[in-house]
Structure 1
Amino acid sequence: MLDFWTIFKQSFWTKAKTKAFVITTLIVVAGIFLMANISTIISKVQEVGVFGDGANEDIIYVIDDSGSLVDQLQQQLDVKESGITLKATTESIQELENQITDEKISSLLVLGINDADTIQATYTSKNANAFEQPMSIREALQSVQTNLKASTLELTGEEVAQLFVPIQFEQDAVSASSKSEEELSQARGLVYVLIFVIYFAVFYYSNMIAMEVATEKSSRVMEIIISSVSPVKHMFAKIAGVGTLGLLQIALFGVVGFVALKTSSSDLTSGVFSFFGFSNVSISTMLYAVVFFLLGYFLYATLAALLGSLVSRTEDVQQLLLPMTFIIIIASFIAFTGLGNPEATYVQYSSYFPFFTPLVMFLRVGMLDLPFWEPLLGIGILLITIFILGWFGSRVYRGGVLMYGASQSLKDIKKAIQLGKK
């Protein structure tokens, strides 16, 4: 047992102290804080302005042929708190377009009213990819247009308001496992993030194990290790060591994310956070996330260790891991597409396929009110598969670590098993 813990600690600290691991962790931590405060950063950048001579991109120069629309449009923009300021000008369109080209001003708006009392507007900017500002202008002009038509029809303010009274619309479902739209909104964001975390962790740490085994073989260190430690104990010690490191790293990211959201100026109950439901974290969903993360990791880590033992050069690792990579990609594709329709038949059946279960079953648990036996059955299938794969993988690993030379294909598994019997 002492040998197991020696290899466990060696696998843990060797990877934890590498520059790549430390730098990656710091980058992700910085990225989490950046994303949590992205709205504040964007606001600050917009306040400073990005144009030459300190020109603010929220100032729009307006040519108002009607002579009456600028003030009404500015009023609507102020009501919507768009932060856009209109500046009437008598300069020609050509002169203003030249100033846009020279980045002296950011945009131009030409307004007019035709014979049918319909507003005509042309928004001009340097690039055609502007989206937010034109959308705000369009919405405000629509409100101005409504007021103009209401005035023509001699409608009062109350009558105009009645035209835009929202309907009462509720969505219900007869399926016993379905959740309400509010419950789905509360679960969607957490499930999305955790599916991505499980996918990233399973893929990243499994590859790490395969590369570690291949590196030891290529440097001939493996020959020294297995002379004093059994290959089976060596395999499971590496899986446990890297797995513990991965679990601690994911936990660190989770704590950092929680702190970043709590300390940021973003409101977790509005905007995109309202849609994704980050303000309501289900304890049961978090527990299932931990369970499926651990089981998914051990399933793919065992498979990665098996495949990594077949190669003696690190250059061959990615090629031999391609089948496993495709399986993970397919599982994540099913899970992400299932976010829109978690009750789809293909999602239901694929959740019981062991290599898809960690992602797809977790999706169903988070998005649906499943009977307790369904996730329990998925966990049971995973445990049985991990046991079988561990038993088979140990036989392959026992012979695979003694194989040298270029690995041709998965046919080397048979050769490794035969070598392990000797």
Structure 2
Amino acid sequence: MNKFWVVALETYKKHVKSASFIMMVLAPFLLIGFSLGMGYFGDKFSDVNEIAIVSDDKAISETYREMAKDDFDINKKITTESKAKKALENEEIDGYLSISVSENQLKGQYTGVETLGTTNQQILLGFLNQMQLGINSGSLGLTQEQVTTLLSQATLSEKQVKVSDGQIKENKDNRMALTLVGFFIVLAMYMIVLLYASITAQEVASEKGTRIMEIILSSTTAAKHFYGKIMGIFLVILTQVLIYLFSGVIAYFLAKDMDMVKGFLETVSIDELIKGILGYNLLYLLLGVLIYTILSAFTGSLVSKSEDAAKAVTPVTYLIMIASLPTMMLGMSDPQNMLIKIFSFIPFFSSFAMPVRIANDSVTNTEIIISLGILLVGIILLLRLSAKVYKSTVLIYSDKSMMQVFKDAVKVTKTR
């Protein structure tokens, strides 16, 4: 056991000290910071500093100025289009909106040195639509109360219940929180297994076919060495996950007083978010990462050179895509889909499908336990198979295909 931990800790130390690991950890933070920075500067550059509102109908221009005064800096001194053009030429304003009326139909034309941008355009259009509604209701002789009644819409609410002891009870779970957690788990596992599949395969294949392995195997068994490699990589992944969880806690305490965060937490309970992350979903994340780590190590053991590690993880990459993409596409729109239900009980697939079913409360605790049990059995069987194949191929240096190496390893295993 001591030799197992020696291999595991050496593998762990080697990777956490590497520049690639540091970059992998920092990449999401850099991406978030870059996105926020681009959004901030994009908003600044797209801001319209000062505009003018002009129309041949004085009442329309005055009404529009009053409506838009909180969203735009409006030059009230400019009341005609000729003055607006001259002010634009002299760079006194950024642009002007000319409003015309023809047969009770409003038409707006914005002229400016820079584009309005989608947000500002929608705001200006919204004010025009409000004024158009007033003109239409006036021409039809409708009162304000009648217009309000005409615009009122039907509402649809949803109440989720559960049957307990033959009685229907309201389900108090925060469905939005569970849905967010479910899809966060799916996306997180997808990114992690894709990132570490190649790293794991290369780690297992790097020492094969060299005299280093002869020295290593003189002091420990091939199985312990293989298990140690997998444990070391898993600890690296676990370290990265914990860094992100800890960062999330810090970010929450730093940003909890922001208006945007307060508004979000009014809809989604932070307690429900924590329960969702620390419950069954976290188990599926860890076990899902573990089974794909073992599979990557298994494919890595079938090649003789570290240069072939990329080729070795190709089947793993395809399997990840087959398991995750249907879940991502169907999980939100059709969580009761039969394919999702079947996937939730199949190892390699259940870690993607079951969190989505949990998020939509379409699965019982018994089904979850059965699914976890099948996943654990799958992990144990794959681990044992991988160790046997590694033991048979660890000192083989061959240019044979992966499938042929696997067949040869199976034959060797059977003869022992």
For normalisation by structure 2, the TM-score amounts to 0.84
CA contact (8 A) 1:59 1:106 kept: yes
Deviates more, 1:68-77 or 1:331-340: 68-77
Task: Give SS of 1:113's match.
Answer: strand
8 Å contact 1:57–1:106 — kept in the other structure? yes
* Alpha-carbon shift at residue 153 of structure 1 (Å): 4.3
Partner Cα separation in structure 1 for residue 361 and residue 110 of structure 2: 46
1:213 Cα deviation from its structure 2 partner:
1.6
Instruction: State which of 184, 196, 205 in structure 1 corresponds to 2:196.
Output: 205
> Is it true that 1:169 corresponds to 2:156 in the alignment?
yes
CA-CA distance at 1:121 after TM superposition: 1.8
Task: Return the alpha-carbon distance in structure 1 between the equivalents of residues 172 and 134 of structure 2.
Answer: 34
- Residue type at the aligned position of 1:235: F
Partner of 1:24: 24
Distance 1:158 1:28, change over 3 A: same
CA distance in 1, matches of 2:141, 2:339: 57
Aligned in 2, Cα 1:93/1:406: closer, same or farther, shift over 3 Å? Answer: farther
Q: Would you say the 8 A contact 2:162–2:171 is kept in 1?
A: no
Q: What is the match of residue 138 of structure 1?
A: 125
What CA distance in whole angstroms lies between the structure 1 residues aligned with 2:4 and 2:269?
43
The reply on whether 1:318 has 2:310 as its aligned counterpart is: yes
Where does residue 111 of structure 1 map in the other structure? 99
5+ residue gaps, structure 1, are none
Which residue, out of 28, 41, 55, partners 1:64? Answer: 55
- Counterpart of 1:270 in 2: which secondary structure? helix
Q: Are the aligned partners of 1:32 and 1:256 in contact in 2 as well (CA < 8 Å)? A: no
Other-structure match for 2:236: 245
Answer whether contact 2:204 2:301 (CA < 8 A) is retained: yes
1:351·1:357 contact (CA, 8 Å) conserved in 2? Answer: yes
Q: Flag the 1:224–1:339 CA change in 2: closer, same or farther, 3 A.
A: farther
1:411 pairs with one of 404, 409, 413: 404
Superposed displacement of residue 58, structure 1: 4.9
Distance change in 2, residues 1:286/1:396 (3 Å): same
Which residue of the other structure, out of 287, 291, 297, is the alignment partner of 2:279? 287
Aligned amino acid, residue 111 of structure 1 = I
Out of 196, 202, 207, the position equivalent to 1:216 is 207
SS at match of 1:281: helix
Aligned partner letter, 2:404: K
Shift of 1:120: 1.1
Which one-letter code corresponds to 2:102 in the other structure?
N
* Structure 2 match to 1:367: 360
In structure 2, give the amino acid aligned to 1:224: I
Preserved CA contact (<8 Å) 2:174 2:268: no
- Aligned: 1:120 with 2:107: yes
- SS for the counterpart of 1:170 is coil
1:189, 1:277 within 8 Å by CA — same for their partners in 2?
A: no
Q: Spell out, residue by residue over 1:212-265, the C-alpha distance to the aligned partner (whole angstroms, 9 max, x if none).
A: 122223765333322322111111111111111211211111221232243223
Provide the residue aligned with 1:378 in structure 2: 371
Q: Any idea what SS the aligned residue of 1:339 has?
A: helix
Shift of residue 170, structure 1, vs aligned partner: 2.3
Change (3 A) 1:380 1:235: same
Task: Report the AA paired with residue 165 of structure 1.
Answer: S
| AA at the equivalent of 1:11 | T
What is the CA deviation profile of residues 314-360 of structure 1, one whole-angstrom value per residue up to 9, with x for unaligned ones? Answer: 33112221111111112111221112221111111121221101111
Cα-to-partner distance string for 1:154-202 (whole Å, 9 max, x where unaligned)? 544444333333433224679979x989943232222222211111222
Query: Aligned pair in 2 of structure 1 residues 242, 104: CA closer, same or farther (>3 Å)?
Result: farther
Query: Which sits farther off after the overlay, 372-381 or 117-126?
Result: 117-126
Q: What's the secondary structure of 2:352's corresponding residue?
A: helix
Cα distance, 1:103–1:319 mapped onto 2, change above 3 Å: farther
Partner of 1:344: 337
Cα distance between partner residues in 1 of 2:16 and 2:144:
67
- Identify the range of structure 1 (402-411 vs 12-21) with the bigger mean alpha-carbon deviation: 402-411
**Contact 1:306–1:397, Cα closer than 8 Å, also in 2:** yes
Determine whether 1:330 maps to 2:332: no
Aligned equivalent of 1:396? 389
Aligned length: 406
Where structure 2 has 5 or more consecutive residues not aligned to the other structure, the ranges are 165-169
SS of 2:131 mapped into structure 1: helix
Change (3 A) 1:164 1:336: same
Q: CA deviation at 1:279?
A: 7.7
Is the 8 Å Cα contact of residues 185 and 274 (structure 1) preserved in structure 2? Answer: no
- State the one-letter code of the partner of 1:120: K
- Do the aligned residues in 1 keep the contact of 2:389 with 2:406 (CA within 8 Å)? yes
Whether the 8 Å CA contact 2:7–2:228 is kept in 1: the answer is: yes
Shift of 1:307: 0.9
Q: TM-score, normalised by structure 1?
A: 0.83
Counterparts of 2:312 and 2:390, CA distance in 1: 15
Matched-pair identity in %: 24
Q: How many Å separate the matches in 1 of 2:269 and 2:112?
A: 36
Alignment of 1:295-306 (within 5 A): 295-306=287-298
**Does the CA-based 8 Å contact 2:84-2:96 persist in structure 1?**
no
Contact 2:205/2:301, CA 8 A, preserved across alignment:
yes
